[in-house]
Amino acid sequence: MSLSLFGCEDAQNPDDLNEQEFITTVELTFSPSTGDPLVFAWTDLEGDGAPVVDTVQLAELETYSLSVRFLNELEDPAEDITVEVAEESAQHQVFLTGDAVLGPATGAGTNPPLEHAYADQDAAGLPIGLSNDIDVIGPGGGDLVVTLRHLPPENDAATKVAGLAETVASDGFAAIPGDTDAQVTFPVSVQ
Amino acid sequence: MVSFRTAWLLLCLLLPGLALAQSDDDDSADPDDDAAQDTSDPEQHEHVDATVVVVAKRAADTDTRSRVEITETELERTTGQDVAEAISQVAGVTVARGSADSSKPVIRGQHERRLLVLFDGVRHESQKWGADHATEIDPFAAGAISVIKGASGVRYGPDAIGGVVLVEPPKLLSTPGVDGVLTLVGVSQGWRLAGAARLDFAPAKLPGFVVRVEGNYGRGSSLRAPDYVLGNTGSQVWNAGATLHYHRGGVHLTASYSHYDLRAGIFYGIASSTPAEFASRIEADTPVGADSWTVTPVIDRPYQSVSHDRVTLRGEFFLARAGTLTATYAFQHNHRQEFEQVRASVTGPQYDFTLRTHSLDVSFAHTSIPVGAATLRGGLGVSSSFQENVFAGIPLVPNHRALQAGVFGYERLSLPRLDLEIGARYDHQGRASFLSDSAFARHVGRGTLSADDCEDTGSAARCGLAFDTGSLSAGLLLHVVPDVIDLKVDLSSASRFPNGDELYMNGSAPTLPVYALGDPDLGPETTWGVSPTLGLRLPWLHAEVSAFFSYIDDYIYFAPELGPHGTPAFDVTVRGAFPRFGYRPVDSLFYGVDGGFTLGPAWPVSLRAGGSLVRGEELATGSPLLFTPADRLSGGVRVNPPHVGPLHDGYIELSGEYVFRQRHSNEAADLAPAPDGAFLLRAGIGAILHLPNENALHVGIEGNNLLNTRYREYTSLLRYYADEPGVEVRLRVRFEFHQHPRGRTLDDPSTVPDPDHHPDEPLPLRL
């Protein structure tokens, strides 16, 4: 008995990933001035509210260049969403916050072990945050929160403007426009 | 709570006893009254039809529940508003606004999930569980709307927990000729413009045939709250419909088709955010980014695109001496797509819902049977539907197939001073949900499903469920002083089967910063309600007050879940940590009172006042249930000027409504505190210019929130993000024309059954 009299979609064949921008994984690559890069990941393949999170372990007084990647590992091979973020850099910005970091998007904090500076720019000269400089300024730990913000124009006016990181530092994410595409927390440990 | 149910059932038994006791008193009643009530003359169904016409105007009087009819004239004054806004003038009815330019009705504290909307006698089937999914009904296609307050499960079937909204198309032509209506409306909010046309045609050369075609188009820009523009709230809507009717002898056949199409921007302010962000935005005076929002008709992402197609085939057979047999088949295709803010490489919708519903309803209403001094009228029926839900998108709700069947019967004993109605209904639903492997794995991982609860079909996990529910009703209508004071006492029950989201949802909700988790173990919820209503109809005073008390067994409550230590539970997603909301069955209680009066309805100046109060609480804890409407009071003065030359039916009205702050809210469970109270001022002025040949021009200006008050509505999703729209002025012009080759008088007996009359409506009682 064919019960689908009208239309071609079939109730028996669920299709739960249609036209999605799905992020399962946030990957941080810390490249020291010499030596092998260190890679830490936040991964949630099941979407079950229980992600697998690496602890970011860095060496004291080292300087790293940090690149941030966003992946959809439900695809095979994994889809690198970073490419699209880079292409639409005028509408995206990565923010680093949390008590383990001192940088443009944070307040002064109490002896955070990491210091952050943006190392890339979009066409308008605004930071993107896919490439960053991290100085390990002391021992300690805490949380590093990585946020990818989508800042599409509203009524044809750009919402990615200068000073967003500073606004986040003073008033939090609620004070800037846009949607949060990803916001994940890594524990940090500097020995 | 068994004791409440027992008491309810005892009351049900008690009502017939009361009726019998009363019937002794009635023996001495004037026998002419009885003769007047006897409508058992089925020789010519024209007589039946004439009865129906009379009764259609009196349905509110004969229903044992509180029932309010919004006439065509009253509806006209809401031109430019949607159906939910149009019925919000009824005491006890409020509006829940979604993302901005869309709204849903709330009756006695029950939201649309627990209401039934019928268009032309067909249950409107849509994704009504979503807070931002507006009711897809064309307001221009409505001739009259009735609101039945309170459970009405026996007559209308599952979902009618809080009430029923009956939207009826205007009557079809009853004599050969052409009728037409052209409407233009301009609305200051969003500079909306809409045009609508309806043409009715009954060819003289084809007796028995009647045709209707209708359509409308409207487009509006972003709405404005008093202090800022509600960015991206423009919308565009069009509707088209056609009806073909044929009757010969006692057979009436009607086929109709309608298409609804909406494309509406979703307010920029409803961006996905983390709970912390959400909480601090609640406190902000102005939404972030409001400075750059403009009033524009351009619809940007995020937006929704919705269509609803409906095919209705109906046969009515007037059987001499036996009664009326009605069979209705309907097919509805509801398609909803939601387009989120995404990267440019993603082109399609992020949520895609298709709901297909086939329904077949057959009912028989027998002619009245004399029982001593009384008459007995009633009927029985079966209803059935097959529904398929197909979803594609970010994991949210599963696909499903559901087969539903119900059988019902009702009888009404009418005495000169008293009517007694009893009814019973049984419904069954069998449903199979098809969960994707990942969705099923998530439920198994959480322990809400076990691996052997569902079977593997290769492409999905098929999870089967079956539900059975019963409904009962007993209603008493006492004509304390016939035609002046009526007392109604209604005991009605109704059930609702759990929806797909309540059973299986597993993910962050698109419009709220919560992680929602369905419960596959949920069963149906059933309400047992008592509602006394007192009506007064004097030449100088019309009044009605109705109280209600409803116990809901296993009310499915969407509320935050607590962790092991009594603290809120959180789920960590890639977009942050979200509070976990679950669907819990809780026994709950809703009670309250609503009503109003009009002083001097026919005087040159009349006054009216009304109000409503609803309380909803979880029985075990006594804590208030979220989204129960705040108390409100309204009042107004209307000037009814006398006819001046060709100018008729003029009116000037000034009215206001005060909505109190919802003090009975559960702030711990809510995402934001209840908004402050607000006073809203409304006004209207209008008249009808009678033109030659029965043509007429209707003109009116109506306005809402004329003081441009900043306020938020407790029942609306929008309250978490922004203020409600500010001042709105609507200008409407309606031209009606009639062409009847053989002339037409207003007294023509109808040869077409009143389309307002459906077998599931209360039966005629009196001639």
Tell me: the pLDDT tens digits for B419-449? 999 999 999 999 999 998 888 988 898 889 9
- How far, in Å, CA of B584 to CA of B331, rounded? 33
**Is B659 part of a structural domain of the chain?**
yes
B62/B186: higher pLDDT = B186
**Identity of the residue in A4, A16, A51 whose CB atom sits nearest the CB atom of B439:** A16
User: Confidence band (pLDDT; 50, 70, 90) for B671?
Assistant: confident
pLDDT at B752 over 70: no
How many residues does the structure list for chain A?
191
**Tokens found for residue B715:** 């029942």
Sorted by sequence, the CB contacts under 8 Å of residue A98 that are 6+ apart come out as: A106, A142, A143, A144, A145, A185, A188
**Is B359 part of a structural domain of the chain?**
yes
Answer yes or no: are the C-beta atoms of B145 and B70 closer than 8 Å: yes
pLDDT at B219 over 80: yes
Count of domains for chain B? 1
Average pLDDT of the residues of chain B: 88
Mean pLDDT score, B73-93: 93
pLDDT at B274 over 80: no
B127/B744: higher pLDDT = B127
Number of CB atoms found within 10 A of residue B430's CB: 14
**Is B25 part of a structural domain of the chain?**
yes
8 Å CB contact of B331 and A6: yes
**Is B709 part of a structural domain of the chain?**
yes
Instruction: Give residue B376's identity as a one-letter amino acid code.
Output: L
> Residue B548 has what pLDDT?
97
User: Confidence band (pLDDT; 50, 70, 90) for B756?
Assistant: very low
> Residue B316 has what pLDDT?
97
Number of CB atoms found within 10 A of residue B759's CB: 23
B741/B321: higher pLDDT = B321
Answer yes or no: are the C-beta atoms of A80 and A71 closer than 8 Å: yes
> Residue B395 has what pLDDT?
76
Least confident of B63-72, B129-138, B177-186, B266-275: B266-275
Report the sign of the C-alpha dihedral through residues B279, B585, B387, B135, in that order: negative
Phi, psi at B277, each rounded to 5°: -60, -45
pLDDT at B56 over 50: no
- How far, in Å, CA of B425 to CA of B510, rounded? 37
**Is B581 part of a structural domain of the chain?**
no
What ipTM was estimated for this complex? 0.89
User: Confidence band (pLDDT; 50, 70, 90) for B513?
Assistant: confident
Ordered alpha helix ranges (H), B641-719: none
> Residue A20 has what pLDDT?
66
8 Å CB contact of B399 and A21: no
Mean pLDDT score, B329-344: 92
8 Å CB contact of B576 and A180: yes
* Full-model pTM: 0.90
CA atoms within 13 A on the CB side of B117: 26
8 Å CB contact of A20 and B394: yes
CATH number (domain holding residue B380): 2.40.170.20
Interface membership of B627 toward A (CB under 8 Å): no
> Residue B746 has what pLDDT?
36
Least confident of B27-36, B240-249, B350-359, B459-468: B27-36
In total, the C-beta contacts within 8 angstroms joining chain A to chain B are: 182
**Domain boundaries, position B189:** 4-575+589-739
**Is B764 part of a structural domain of the chain?**
no
Sorted by sequence, the CB contacts under 8 Å of residue B634 that are 6+ apart come out as: B91, B596, B609, B610, B611, B655, B656, B657, B658
> Residue B366 has what pLDDT?
96
**Is B496 part of a structural domain of the chain?**
yes
8 Å CB contact of A174 and B273: yes
**Is B570 part of a structural domain of the chain?**
yes
Tell me the three state secondary structure of residue A56.
strand
Interface membership of B395 toward A (CB under 8 Å): yes
Rg (alpha carbons) of chain B, rounded to whole number? 26
